[in-house]
Amino acid sequence: MKLNIAVLPGDGIGPEIIGQALRVTEAVCEKFGHELSYEYAIVGASAIDEVGNPYPDSTHELCMSADAVLFGAIGDPKYDNDPSAKVRPEQGLLAMRKKLGLFANIRPVTTFPSLIHKSPLRAELIEGADFMCIRELTGGMYFGRPQGRSEDGNTAYDTCVYTREEVERILHLSYKYAQLRRKKVTVVDKANVLATSRLWRQVAQEIEKQYPDVETEYMFVDNAAMQIIQWPKRFDVLVTENLFGDILTDEASVITGSLGMLPSASIGIETSVFEPIHGSYPQAAGKNIANPLATILSAALMFEYAFELKEEGALIRKAVDASMDAGVVTEDISSAGKAYSTSDVGDWIVNFVKK
């Protein structure tokens, strides 16, 4: 099979972790006889520095022509610490989502036996936790208009807007994933306060009738935030709007014991993007200490969702599990006193795949 990938390393540790994920991807393609082609493009702060645009037209054109996008991270302190900056790296991420029609971010949340002790939650709460967060990506407050500040700078405003079409699209996707899992969907909103949430609930109540084999429950976002911590094993597929999803998925990451272990897939109308959920971690950039496992697991999602190559994705997961069992991990999740570098972990997983 021919696999054509756009590679966007981005900022901070992005180039290092993407480098290891790409090496694993190459090893898997070699093992299974696939023909891999890929091309790099700039995005984020590095793109601003080079061309003044965090998501240049040339990068978008490459993404549109690819079968999938493997993406690292966006963000740079020099922009974070400058409130007056008119162009920001994160604008590149929002532009990419909008232009590629990336309407659904899928984040599987599972536990790893060797990392359970790293979670701040008690082992009996999280052992066996396995759920999927599906976050709407193209609507809500992040894209709402109008948006701005008053002339005197003392008042700021954002608007939250959703259309029926946007809500229907993400809900149908969620029910289809639930049918492949344990057949339960939790719709998270704030329908007791927000008009957009009442639209979400209305549309969900209509759509749930089309999936009689799936159990549906409705939960306010504050209650969901509490229950993710108290009873994470009660969830199967959790679907919500953009802002709520941004917060809840980061909260859910503590269940695994490390933010550096969670991959994600952003499903698009044009091209889908596969990326770790963590940020650019600029303090570690260039030090060869960043955890590449979330990015490598994102490559596994790419094989599974973009190319429907389940066996290839399963091999990557097996290799990651084996590296963790062997203690070949970076300093953020090491517990045996020895930490490996980013490239060491990549070497170990590549060798495992090639066996």
Helix (H, G, I), strand (E, B) or coil at 40: strand
* Catalytic center residues: 142, 190, 222, 246, 250
**235, 199 in Cβ contact below 8 A?**
no
Supply 180's token pair: 């492949």
Supply 261's token pair: 């272990």
Q: Is 80 exposed, middle or buried (0-12, 13-18, 19+ CB in 10 A)?
A: middle
Query: Count of CB atoms within 10 A of residue 123's CB?
Result: 11
The whole-angstrom separation of Cα 252 and Cα 248 is 6
Contacts of 51 (CB under 8 A, 6+ apart): 42
The conformation of residue 306, written as its DSSP 8-state character, comes to I
**Angstrom distances, CA of residue 317 to CA of 32, 167, 313:** 16, 32, 6
Query: Count of CB atoms within 10 A of residue 45's CB?
Result: 27
**237, 174 in Cβ contact below 8 A?**
yes
